[in-house]
Amino acid sequence: MKFVHIADMHFDTPFTLLSDRANLGEVRRLDQRKVFKKVIEYIKENKIPYLFIAGDLYDHEYVRQTTIEFINNYFKQIPNTKIYITPGNHDPYLKNSYYTKYNWNQNVKIFTSKIEKIEMEDFDLYGYGFEDFYLKESKIEEIYIENKEKLNILITHASLDGGYDDQRVYNTMSSSKLRKLGFDYVALGHIHKMNLTNENKNIIYPGSTISLGFDELGEHGMIVGNIEKGKLELEFIKLDDKEFKEIEIDITEINEPEELLEKIEGLELKEKDLYKIILIGNRNFEINTYKLYKQIETKNIIKLKDRTKIGYDLNKIANNSTLKGIFASEMLNKLEDKNIDKETIEKAIEIGIEALS
């Protein structure tokens, strides 16, 4: 049997932390729609009988009814494809959610927090989802595979092997326990990075369908599978034509803001990709990231991060019997004061040295 597995589309997420560029959030929301169309077109062209959507299809807090209608209209274009959705922590099955109050197309099945088994001729599908924004106790222990001669598939939104408290409230389940249950394929959502290459060969996160930010570097898309008893073929297909990338620039040998701006503007960048520039090394001048960012004309540079360290040798300057030396000596004393924020002192040093030069 063939299937497509996607997760974490996050339709209508606001992208507020992505960039200061005015319309980038709107552009990425349009990109979400373009990518979703690609999924449906692939299913139509290849006559895929099953679509697994493992949670966070949309953001409950922000999603508009027009977006739900857009999604459902595309579901109508693949009437012969059975669509299974397990709500996640961003799109839980609430009383006032679109999962409950909207009239979805007849080929759509939406799971609740109650474990449910769908019996098909060639496989059994088990699924359950979120009915709240948290799911503190996984129901993995409640699952019993009744017919191990058939193909058995699990679809859910979960944190696999969650190692810290923040993840333990999102349906945390153990990969070792999952393997013991004996599913032929486990379709997961929640983690935005694709894990097709890891040791859990049939316990799969497809990753977010499009990248939502710089914590989601690399390619994004969908998993296409072909499964028989004892045989599983999986392929990752890239759908998002934009990638988020980070570039580090060492400014140790750069001596003025104009030279730094010229260095940034001279980077060879791919037109469609979105970039964060990270400044590293020892700085020899004050860096105003807000002002510098506004001066950058390259539109696909959408973030600028300063991780440089102050480049002054304060001990050397403090040995001079000048006003600058006295200032440096005072600042060295303040740096030893654990009650004063070091970053604030370093900024004061930078401004003071510049003013006294």
Q: Where are the alpha helices (DSSP H) in 182-313?
A: 257-265, 289-295
Q: In sequence order, what are the residues at sequence separation of 6 or more whose Cβ sits closer than 8 angstroms to the Cβ of residue 244? A: 211, 213, 214, 216, 217, 273, 274, 275, 276
The closest alpha carbon to 311, from 354, 344, 275, belongs to 354
Residues 280 and 194 in one domain: no
Q: Are 244 and 274 in contact (CB under 8 A)?
A: yes
Domain region containing 99: 2-238
| pLDDT single digits (tens) 121-163 | 889 999 999 999 998 888 888 898 989 899 999 999 999 887 5
Rounded CA-CA distance 55/75 in Å is 16
Residues 208 and 296 in one domain: no
Rounded CA-CA distance 334/342 in Å is 9
**Of 10-14, 98-102, 136-140, where does mean pLDDT reach its minimum?**
136-140
Residues 44 and 188 in one domain: yes
Rounded CA-CA distance 103/48 in Å is 23
As given in the structure block, the two tokens for residue 59 are 């953001």
Residues 42 and 8 in one domain: yes
- Quote the pLDDT of residue 320: 82
Higher pLDDT, 333 or 186: 186
| pLDDT single digits (tens) 20-32 | 666 888 889 999 9
- The CATH number given to whatever domain includes residue 67 is 3.60.21.10
Q: Are 134 and 162 in contact (CB under 8 A)?
A: no
Residues 108 and 13 in one domain: yes
Residues 343 and 229 in one domain: no
| pLDDT single digits (tens) 276-292 | 999 999 888 888 898 99
The closest alpha carbon to 176, from 140, 145, 150, belongs to 140
Rounded CA-CA distance 290/285 in Å is 15
Residues 222 and 255 in one domain: no
pLDDT at 165 over 60: no
Residues 201 and 143 in one domain: yes
Residues 212 and 89 in one domain: yes
276 three-class SS: strand
Q: In sequence order, what are the residues at sequence separation of 6 or more whose Cβ sits closer than 8 angstroms to the Cβ of residue 168? A: 136, 159, 162
Residues 211 and 174 in one domain: yes
| Vertex 354 angle, CA 357 and 322, to 5° | 40
Residues 26 and 91 in one domain: yes
Query: Pick from 216, 238, 260: which residue ends a domain?
Result: 238
Residue range 329-348: average pLDDT?
Answer: 79
Query: Pick from 189, 221, 238: which residue ends a domain?
Result: 238
Residues 27 and 8 in one domain: yes
Rounded CA-CA distance 197/204 in Å is 9
Write the DSSP string, 50-71. EEEE-S-SB-TTT--HHHHHHH
Domain count, the chain: 2
Indicate if the alpha-carbon torsion angle 171, 173, 179, 180 is positive or negative: negative
The closest alpha carbon to 81, from 52, 36, 49, belongs to 49
| pLDDT single digits (tens) 198-214 | 666 899 999 999 999 88
Name the pTM for this structure.
0.85
Query: Pick from 207, 238, 269: which residue ends a domain?
Result: 238
